[in-house]
Amino acid sequence: MNSIGVTCSKFTRISLEREIRIGAVSYLNTKPLLYGLSNASFPYQLSLDYPANLVKSLQNDQIDIGLIPVAALLHLPNYHLVSDYCIGAVGEVASVCLYSNVPINEVKKIKLDYQSRTSVMLCKLLMEDFFKKEVLYVATKDDQDLLDFEKDTASLLIGDRALRLNGITKYKIDLAATWVEMTGLPFVFAVWVSKQQLSTVFVDAFNKAVGKGVQNLDKVIGEVDAQGLDLDTYYKKNISYLFDEKKQQGMRLFLEKIKQLI
């Protein structure tokens, strides 16, 4: 597959002569994407953070390339999709869910995860277009607030924390699976983005490094401390890493739909 969004043959400001500053989310789902960087053919610095902070880092030129939540693309006037890999799902993603002790028709308030704008926008979109339900949205600042499951209240959680909540509440709605049910398309949570065009030489090297773990998931699983989580299912069934045409269609549809919510 051809690299997406790469058209120039020379570096603009990003050069292999210095370390490339790479930012990625600090969740388990990125481990396969980062696995091959240890043997990359280019020098780099890697910083890990949660999605909302990575957007700020890219906007402020603190990183050159970031694994950026898709919703943030609407707030980047100029961006380039760098890689053939992403964080996506073709069904249940398991790590972006609504948790509650009452069914969705009884939910009156949703506490929103502070770590990712994309999941928040997806939640709001699904409530409006799929569930046809109006609720009160409440911003949160920490996990303690999110994990306080009040009556008539649901909490949106993402990442490893969401994986560990399986069974803690009576009800759970997987947002990626709901999106697929509504649209018939996969959902993309995050893509590799730069603010500048990069050379095909660098993008090829980056894709090779990023793809190594995706192509060797068993090796990645063997080296990750899962702390009791089923990474075999999570990496091979829940997360879909290839940024193919169907996922690109799903991403474009999501971006078009959420414009009305901004």
Instruction: Return the pLDDT at 7.
Output: 30
Tell which wins on pLDDT, 96 or 52.
96
Average pLDDT, the chain: 90
Instruction: Return the pLDDT at 126.
Output: 98
Nearest CA-CA partner of 31 in 159, 117, 158: 159
Per-residue pLDDT tens digits for 101-145: 999 999 999 999 988 889 999 999 999 999 999 999 999 888 888
Ordered by where they begin, the domains of the chain are 20-87+188-261 (3.40.190.10), 96-183 (3.40.190.10)
Average pLDDT over residues 74-98: 94
**Rounded to an integer, what distance in angstroms lies between the CA atom of residue 219 and that of residue 123?**
34
Q: Please, what is the end-to-end C-alpha distance for the chain in angstroms?
A: 33
Instruction: Return the pLDDT at 261.
Output: 78
Average pLDDT over residues 75-95: 94
Per-residue pLDDT tens digits for 205-262: 999 999 999 999 999 999 998 888 999 999 999 999 999 999 999 999 999 999 987 6
Average pLDDT over residues 176-180: 98
Average pLDDT over residues 37-42: 90
Average pLDDT over residues 68-89: 93
Instruction: Return the pLDDT at 17.
Output: 56
Q: How confident is the model at residue 54 (pLDDT cuts 50, 70, 90)?
A: very high
Average pLDDT over residues 152-163: 92
Instruction: Return the pLDDT at 14.
Output: 47
DSSP sequence for 59-119: HTTS-SEEEEEGGGGGG-SS-EEEEEEEEEESS--SSEEEEESS-GGG--EEEEPTT-HHH
**Rounded to an integer, what distance in angstroms lies between the CA atom of residue 96 and that of residue 158?**
4
Tell which wins on pLDDT, 11 or 209.
209
Residue in the structure block whose two tokens are 């939640």: 123
* Token pair recorded at residue 240: 């879909």
Strands 80-89 and 240-242: antiparallel
Question: Is residue 3 predicted with pLDDT exceeding 70?
Answer: no
Average pLDDT over residues 83-93: 97
Strands 109-112 and 136-139: parallel
> What CA dihedral angle connects 129, 131, 137 and 143, to 10 degrees?
-110
**Rounded to an integer, what distance in angstroms lies between the CA atom of residue 163 and that of residue 253?**
27
For the chain, give the percent of residues with pLDDT over 70: 93
48 DSSP β-pair partners: 24
How much is the pTM? 0.90
Instruction: Return the pLDDT at 11.
Output: 37
Phi-psi region of 9 (alpha: psi -120 to 50; beta: other; left: phi over 0): alpha
17: helix, strand or coil: coil
**Cβ of 1: how many Cβ atoms within 10 Å?**
9
Average pLDDT over residues 43-59: 91
Amino acid at 97: C
